[in-house]
Structure 1
């Protein structure tokens, strides 16, 4: 299943400090097939990570281990996502 993590920034200074480790973490998970895509919002107030996980627990564990979450730079809202198969018939 796919899980979407919304990561609003709550501490810009911590976010700037932790961003390199956040990007490394996301990149490593991408290489393992656990991150499908990720990126910042254009308003620069946070970002989104899409995880591929077998269970909600695995997705939560991956999302909560992100350095920006652990370090208190961002909050986390994690939701399971069921994309439509387009085009619709």
Structure 2
């Protein structure tokens, strides 16, 4: 599996009710062994998670299931990360 860095920046008007749904989604991925790290930025502007997927297409499919993506409350980008 490859690693993908998912960066999330909050948009104005973000619905705070989506945050617990997003965190529950990350917990599900973590239970599946798909998440290595996750967390918010100290300035509360957003956060990131390190996702494991076969390829970029699968990573994007998983990210598109995230309530954060579905809600439109964040700008989300996915980058293949070749960390060592």
Q: Higher Cα Rg: structure 1 or 2? A: 1
State the 1:44 CA deviation: 0.2
Distance 1:45 1:67 in 2: 17
Query: What TM-score does the superposition give when structure 2 sets the normalisation length?
Result: 0.93
Structure 1: 5+ residue runs without aligned partners?
Answer: 85-89
State the 1:36 CA deviation: 1.1
Greater fraction strand? 2
The runs of at least 4 consecutive aligned structure 1 residues that moved more than 4 Å come to none
Paired residues in the alignment total: 83
Structure 2: 5+ residue runs without aligned partners?
Answer: none
Q: Aligned residue for 2:27?
A: 27
Moved more, 5-14 or 55-64: 5-14
Query: What TM-score does the superposition give when structure 1 sets the normalisation length?
Result: 0.88
